């Protein structure tokens, strides 16, 4: 039991550290965000015209719009500009709760991976590594990649994250879980 607890905690720390490095010092996700010198004007306009916080898809239709009207709007806007906007009324630089939630999510993810890997009777380094990478690819393909397909965004940073963090965790777990 203590072997699994150590496996989970060390894996969670590895995931957390990679995520911190990826999003901060290494700039893996820098290409996902653009800068505009018009940011103050745009934020002022958003604050004036968007009533509540949320993610907006423009063009869009009010909730409950019949499908034929929605399709007509989409056809009318075909080839024209569109935007996806995540709007918040207040910029919050306090990171404590976000870091805690991120680490707790990593603990749960590591626990689930270790639980699955412990079900493999003939576990070895390559099986654990490939299993861990498979988990990373499943996560990447079903969320960041599909979002990049539908919303035409970049997802290379997430692919790098998937390979690196789950590869490193897989190497660690492949060594740790197979120790006698």
> Does residue 49 form part of some domain?
no
The answer to whether the beta carbons of residues 161 and 130 sit under 8 Å apart is: no
> Does residue 134 form part of some domain?
yes
Please give the Cα distance from 9 to 3 (Å, whole number): 10
* pLDDT on residue 117: 97
Domain count within the chain: 1
Please give the Cα distance from 116 to 2 (Å, whole number): 17
> Does residue 14 form part of some domain?
yes
> Does residue 60 form part of some domain?
no
> Does residue 84 form part of some domain?
no
Sign of CA dihedral 135, 114, 14, 100: positive
* pLDDT on residue 179: 87
pLDDT in tens, the chain (180 residues): 799 999 999 999 999 999 999 999 999 999 888 999 999 999 999 999 998 999 999 999 999 999 999 999 999 999 999 999 999 999 989 999 999 999 999 999 999 999 999 999 999 999 999 999 999 999 999 999 999 999 999 999 999 999 999 999 999 999 999 987
Domain carrying residue 151: 2-33+93-176
Neighbours of 107 (CB within 10 A): 17
Q: How big is the CA angle at 142 (ends 139 and 143), to the nearest 5 degrees?
A: 80
End-to-end CA distance of the chain: 14
> Does residue 171 form part of some domain?
yes
Using CB atoms within 10 Å of the CB of residue 53, give its burial: 0 to 12 exposed, 13 to 18 middle, 19+ buried: exposed
């Amino acid at each position: 039991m203590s072997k699994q607890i150590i496996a989970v905690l060390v894996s969670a720390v590895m995931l957390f550290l990679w995520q911190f490095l990826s999003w901060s010092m290494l700039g893996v996700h820098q290409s996902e965000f653009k800068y505009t010198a018009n940011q103050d004007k745009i934020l002022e306009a958003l604050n004036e015209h968007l009533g509540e916080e949320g993610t907006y898809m423009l063009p869009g239709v009010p909730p409950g719009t019949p499908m034929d009207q929605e399709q007509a709007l989409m056809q009318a806007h075909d080839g024209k500009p569109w935007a996806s906007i995540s709007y918040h009324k207040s910029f919050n630089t306090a990171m404590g709760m976000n870091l805690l939630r991120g680490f707790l999510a990593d603990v749960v993810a590591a626990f689930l991976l270790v639980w699955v890997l412990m079900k493999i009777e003939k576990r070895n380094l390559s099986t654990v590594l490939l299993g861990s990478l498979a988990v990373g690819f499943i996560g990447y393909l079903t969320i960041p990649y599909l979002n990049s397909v539908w919303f035409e965004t970049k997802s290379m940073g997430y692919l790098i994250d998937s390979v690196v963090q789950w590869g490193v965790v897989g190497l660690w777990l492949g060594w740790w879980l197979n120790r006698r």
